[in-house]
Amino acid sequence: MLNIGTVGLSAMGLVLTVAVFVAAKRIYTRVPLLFLSPLLVVPAALVLILSTTGVTYGEYLVGAKWISHLLGPATVAFAIPIYKNLPLLRKYALEIGLSAVLGSATALLSSVLPALWLHLSPETATSLAPRSVTTPVAMDISRSIGGVPTMTAVFVIVTALVGVMAGPAVIRWLQIRTPVARGALFGTGAHAAGTARAFEFGDVEGTVASLSMIAAAGATLVLTPVLWPLIGG
Amino acid sequence: MSAFKKLYKIVAQIAILTAVSWFGTYLTGRFGWPVPGNIVGMLFMVLLLQTRVIRLEWVETGGSWLLGNMLLFFVPAAVGIIQYQQLMVTSGGRILLVIVLSTVAVMVCTGVVVDRLARVRERGGSGNA
């Protein structure tokens, strides 16, 4: 491939990612079909572009890593909805806490055990373990139990897609009527993307989902080191 | 001009949130806490807002911008799948099966239990009234 130099390389990953993201968001606003979700389309388009142009992932990351760095302040920004909804957090603390503990344990066991039964590699099974919580936390846990953080990041995103599709179906089939339960299942099961979907049901659903997502991240951080030795990690 | 002002406001507010995130990362590194620095930063931020050291309006615009574009920040990590093409060919189907099963299990479990609990608590509450 042609030599674009260091400055060009730094700009390339950054500009390419933002451009594809903006384009995908515009398309999804006009045609809101599930398989056109930017969560699916943007990484797929970038993978296609990188593999056809012969740019390696390392070269792409030179510029694109600046985008990932915004996850830090974005995680801190979750303090804003929490602060605004402290009364709701107090009211539903028991529901949110129970959901987080139960959901984290279920996620861990129902990811790792079937993965081993299906003869997936131990590395894959370990990287699947923290897949139900928000990316920065999931990647940290993955690293601490010997998984591959970048593989975990991919599984977290697939979880988001699956959860956004499965959530409304679960609510319908099991006739989950209380807003707090609807919010809890979205936030615990499908982190940030689930939270965004829960806000489409209502404000209580969305707020409970954002709090559940954070509680689930905390519960998974605490439970993983405890449960991990029990399932043969 | 007003668009430029808004951009300036967003950038300045993201700088505040970034500083808090760095402080969280510094603390976890300094004391060897087994928690991501971002989460410590988030809890610290709730405390700062609660004690009015930082006012809500100093961070609200930048914060909503970050939360609204959260998906973008995941993209570079998701593109990392390009390193595992072989794995996706050999195990992609099984991995997807595990993720679907597990995600539905988590949602059914938390949804049903919280729904029951919420109904019992609401009934208890109205009974006392």
Per-residue pLDDT tens over the stretch B26-59 = 998 999 887 778 888 988 999 999 999 999 999 9
Q: Which residues of chain A make contact with B91, given a CB cutoff of 8 A? A: 120-121, 124
* A42 part of a folded domain: yes
Range of the domain at B62: 1-68
> Which has more pLDDT, A171 or A140?
A171
Residues A15 and A102 in one domain: no
Task: Assign A33 a pLDDT band (cuts: 50, 70, 90).
Answer: confident
> Which has more pLDDT, B125 or A123?
A123
Q: Which residues of chain A make contact with B40, given a CB cutoff of 8 A? A: none
Write the residue in B78, B94, B121 that is nearest to A153 by C-beta. Answer: B78
Residues B15 and B61 in one domain: yes
Residues A58 and A83 in one domain: no
* A27 part of a folded domain: yes
For residue A7, the distance in angstroms to the closest alpha carbon of chain B comes to 19
Best-predicted range by mean pLDDT among A6-10, A132-136, A152-156? A152-156
Q: Which residues of chain A make contact with B95, given a CB cutoff of 8 A? A: 115, 120, 124, 128, 155, 158
Residues B63 and B81 in one domain: no
Per-residue pLDDT tens over the stretch B77-87 = 888 888 888 88
> Among A69, A103, A118, where does a domain finish?
A69
The domain total for chain B is 2
Torsion of CA B15, B17, B22, B28, to 10 degrees: 180
Task: Assign A233 a pLDDT band (cuts: 50, 70, 90).
Answer: low
* A49 part of a folded domain: yes
* A23 part of a folded domain: yes
* A74 part of a folded domain: no
Residues A63 and A109 in one domain: no
Phi, psi of A54 (to 5 degrees): 80, 15
Q: Which residues of chain B make contact with A89, given a CB cutoff of 8 A? A: none
For residue B128, the distance in angstroms to the closest alpha carbon of chain A comes to 17
Residues A102 and A172 in one domain: yes
Range of the domain at A16: 5-69
Q: Which residues contact A56 (CB under 8 A, 6 or more apart)?
A: A50
Q: What is the ipTM of this complex?
A: 0.85
CB contact under 8 A, A188 and B72: no
Residues A96 and A17 in one domain: no
pLDDT at residue B61 greater than cutoff 70? yes
CB A67 within 8 A of CB A18: yes
**Mean of pLDDT values over A87-108:** 94
What pLDDT score was predicted for residue B129?
39
Residues B41 and B3 in one domain: yes
> Which has more pLDDT, A38 or B11?
B11
- Distance (Å) of CA A193 to CA A171, A183, A199, B67, B113: 16, 12, 10, 11, 22
pLDDT at residue A10 greater than cutoff 50? yes
CB atoms within 10 A of CB B56: 12
What pLDDT score was predicted for residue B127?
44
For residue A108, the distance in angstroms to the closest alpha carbon of chain B comes to 8
Residues A35 and A138 in one domain: no
Write the residue in A42, A77, A155 that is nearest to B75 by C-beta. Answer: A42
The domain total for chain A is 2
Q: What percent of chain B has pLDDT over 90?
A: 60
> Among A69, A90, A122, where does a domain finish?
A69
Q: Which residues of chain B make contact with A167, given a CB cutoff of 8 A? A: 107
> Among A51, A69, A87, where does a domain finish?
A69
Within A69-202, residue ranges assigned H as helices are 71-77, 79-84, 86-91, 93-117, 122-128, 135-144, 149-173, 179-199
Sign of torsion, CA A181 A36 A159 A43? negative
Residues B56 and B1 in one domain: yes
Residues B23 and B3 in one domain: yes
Residues A95 and A151 in one domain: yes
Separation of alpha carbons B98 and B94, rounded Å: 6
* A87 part of a folded domain: yes
Task: Assign A36 a pLDDT band (cuts: 50, 70, 90).
Answer: confident
What pLDDT score was predicted for residue A1?
47
What pLDDT score was predicted for residue A15?
94
